[in-house]
Amino acid sequence: MSAFYDPSVGATKSLSPANRPSSLAGKIVGLYDNTKEQADIILEAAAEDLKRRHGVKELLNFRGIHYSKPAPLETIEEMARKCDVVICALGG
């Protein structure tokens, strides 16, 4: 008799999305580069627009190790501590 592997998982706890600010004016925004091609270019363009059009107070840059790996826990904790909002560029 053949054995079959069932890759499904049981029910998981649902999470609510984080509250979104009504405005970015005066906020500290983190820019996370996941290292994919052109992610840095995308974030650079976004950064200019965020300051000029949305009144962002400060931009902080973060970079992942490799796009195939999740952000290191230390980086996630630092972004959570220092930023009001974080934008992740996925690149192309």
Tokens linked to 14? 């649902």
Whether 5 has a pLDDT exceeding 90, the answer reads no
- Quickly state the pLDDT bin for 47 (edges 50, 70, 90): very high
Predicted structure pTM score: 0.78
d(Cα 82, Cα 89) in Å, to the nearest integer? 18
Tell whether 19 is covered by a domain.
no
Tell whether 15 is covered by a domain.
no
Tell whether 3 is covered by a domain.
no
Residue 78 near residue 23, CB atoms below 8 Å: no
Whether 81 has a pLDDT exceeding 90, the answer reads yes
Q: Domain containing 35: what range?
A: 28-89
Tell whether 1 is covered by a domain.
no
Concatenate the DSSP letters of all residues of 64-88 into one string.
-S-TTSPPPHHHHHHHHHH-SEEEE
Domain count across the chain: 1
Neighbouring CB atoms inside 10 A of 43's CB total 23
